[in-house]
Amino acid sequence: MNTVKTLRELRAAISQARAEGKQIGFVPTMGNLHAGHVSLVEIAAQRTDFVVASIFVNPLQFGAGEDLDKYPRTLAADQEKLLAAGCHLLFHPDVSEMYPSGLQSQTRVIVNGVSEGLCGASRPGHFEGVATVVTKLLNMVQPDLAVFGEKDYQQLAVIRTLVRDLNMPIQILGAPTQRAEDGLALSSRNGYLSTEQRAIAPALYRSLEEIAAELRRGARDYTRLIDAAQARQRAAGFEPDYLEIRNAVTLQPAAIDDRHLVILTAAYLGHTRLIDNLLLELPAQ
Ligand code: PAF
């Protein structure tokens, strides 16, 4: 697996793979890779012939006071994991390669609708930063297929929307969230948790499972379900940010007769903000 830092080197390597008739798969990341990222690369490797991954901690998607500076940079360990997962080429650009004219004068991509609310409300500018860097990366790599985790469910919806709206001929594949044995969704930010917080953290997913169980039993008073689940999050030691039941396709607040639902939450454990979601298909009544 080669690691390249410039767009020129990236394009040369991809042109060669294309000339050999290879289909290109792409997995964009910010590094500090865990088994969730590895599963995305493995999926790309099963479906395409030449897998490109990127590691770029994108300053445009971090707000003031967020963890841009302390976001873990673990290149050597990441390279080993990518190689073992079947990656052929790693793109690891510097900020100046991605944003040669500076952050301020960079053209931005704004995805209306699905970017609003949820993480979009709590992290102003975040999805503009994500949409901008993902658009640039997709244009740089020009893959046939790009794989993103369902763990960042709203981000996946934003990316599907921008690819559709900007007519990019790229298949976007969402891959299931990978979890620890106790249910905690794998995330680079889990590394910020103390031992005590790590023991509490699985309660976040349990709060989603409890709502899902009630919905399966026929409960439809969403407000009551959410209030009760947020009370349980608080009792476990979380400071809830949001907890919502939405239509899994449109991301609009769920209507009472919606069957394909996603329950999404974000909550703080100390200074660490964790997000999770649960997809749910209710039987037709
Ligand atoms: O999910 C991530 O790691 C990032 O938001 C992404 C998609 C690589 C864009 O920086």
- Check which CATH number belongs to the domain holding 68 and give it: 3.40.50.620
d(CA 233, CA 224): 14
Task: Tell me which residue has its CA closest to atom 9 in ligand 1.
Answer: 130
d(CA 208, CA 279): 10
Ligand 1 proximity of 201 Cβ (cutoff 6 Å): no
d(CA 10, CA 181): 37
Q: What's the chain's average pLDDT?
A: 98
Mean pLDDT calculated for residue range 35-64: 98
Q: What is the pLDDT of residue 285?
A: 72
Residue that finishes a domain, picked among 147, 175, 203: 175
Contacts of 79 (CB under 8 A, 6+ apart): 1, 3, 90
Q: Are residues 60 and 88 in the same domain?
A: yes
Q: Are residues 13 and 89 in the same domain?
A: yes
Alpha-carbon distance values, 199 to 93, 102, 180, 210, 218 (Å): 36, 41, 12, 19, 31
Q: Which residue, 20, 23, 21, 13, is CA-closest to 44? A: 23
Mean pLDDT calculated for residue range 75-95: 98
Residue that finishes a domain, picked among 145, 175, 205: 175
Ligand 1 proximity of 29 Cβ (cutoff 6 Å): yes
Distance of CA 203 to the CA centre of its chain: 21
Ligand 1 proximity of 128 Cβ (cutoff 6 Å): no
The CA 130 to ligand 1 mean position distance, Å, reads 6
Q: Are residues 115 and 241 in the same domain?
A: no
Give 102-151 pLDDT, tens digit per residue. Answer: 999 999 999 999 999 999 999 999 999 999 999 999 999 999 999 999 99
Q: What element of type H or E holds 210?
A: helix 203-216
Residue from 41, 155, 159 whose mutation best tests the ligand 1 pocket (most atoms within 8 A of CB): 155
Q: What's the distance, Cα to Cα, between the start and end of the chain in Å?
A: 52
Mean pLDDT calculated for residue range 19-25: 98
> Of 34, 37, 92, 271, which one is the catalytic site residue?
37
CA angle 190, 274, 258 (to 5 degrees): 135
Residue 70 tokens, joined: 């302390």
Pairing of strands 2-4, 260-269: unpaired
Confidence of residue 86 (pLDDT cuts 50, 70, 90): very high
The CA 212 to ligand 1 mean position distance, Å, reads 28
DSSP label at residue 177: P
Q: Are residues 153 and 88 in the same domain?
A: yes
**Residue with token string 């931005």:** 108
| Dihedrals phi, psi of 19, to nearest 5 degrees | -65, -25
Residue that finishes a domain, picked among 152, 175, 198: 175
Contacts of 172 (CB under 8 A, 6+ apart): 145, 146, 148, 156, 159, 160, 163
Domain containing 271 equals 188-278
Q: Please check the confidence at residue 11 and state whether its pLDDT lies above 90.
A: yes
Cβ 268 vs Cβ 241: under 8 Å: yes
Is 271 in the active site? no
Q: What is the pLDDT of residue 284?
A: 85
Give 239-275 pLDDT, tens digit per residue. Answer: 999 999 999 999 999 999 999 999 999 999 999 999 9
Mean pLDDT calculated for residue range 65-74: 95
Q: Are residues 104 and 81 in the same domain?
A: yes
CATH number where 213 lies:
3.30.1300.10
Ligand 1 atom nearest the C-alpha of 61 is: 10
Give 182-225 pLDDT, tens digit per residue. Answer: 999 999 999 999 999 999 999 999 999 999 999 999 999 999 99
Q: Please check the confidence at residue 72 and state whether its pLDDT lies above 80.
A: yes
Ligand 1 proximity of 134 Cβ (cutoff 6 Å): yes
* pTM for the predicted model, two decimal places: 0.97
Buried b (16+ CB within 10 A) or exposed e, 144-176: bbbbbbbbbbbbbbbbbbbbeeeebebebbbbe
- On whether residue 283 sits in a domain, the answer given is no
